[in-house]
Amino acid sequence: MSTDMNHIACPQVQENLILFIDHELASPTDYQVFEIHFQECQPCTQIMEVERAAISMMQELLRRSCIESAPEELNERIQEQIDVLSAQTQVEFFSQTTVTEITFGEGDSFQITHEVTQQYTQEFRDDT
């Protein structure tokens, strides 16, 4: 999110409000800009307080409601699936990365000066 050092518009605050509440903004500067906005904008502050209260209420409701353990049969089925997957004889991972170097000339001209593609494959076998 790009913000002016000291100002952010209400729509941008409201779009990113959950990120602010969940402490997931991109940088400490973004938090400072939001805090300044909340000091200056009562409507956004009220919206933020309502959102925080709603999130807190939902979290508390989930904490109180989700105290059951999973059925033993489910735990056994999950463990069986883990055992089946871990007993497979071959697992393969593949990754490909392309790096392109572009040189810009005068006006709108450009030239690709270097292009490298890396491929990476790793295979694991269980030969027991």
Contact, 12 vs 1, CB < 8 A?
A: yes
Tell me if the pTM is above 0.85: no
Structure tokens at 111: 């030239």
Q: What is the pLDDT of residue 2?
A: 46
End-to-end CA, the chain: 51
The rounded distance, in Å, linking the Cα atoms of 45 and 111 is 51
Least trusted range by pLDDT, from 2-6, 10-14, 119-123: 2-6
Report for 15-19, 70-74, 78-82, 103-107: range of highest mean pLDDT: 15-19
pLDDT at 98 over 60: yes
Torsional sign, CA 61, 62, 68, 71: positive
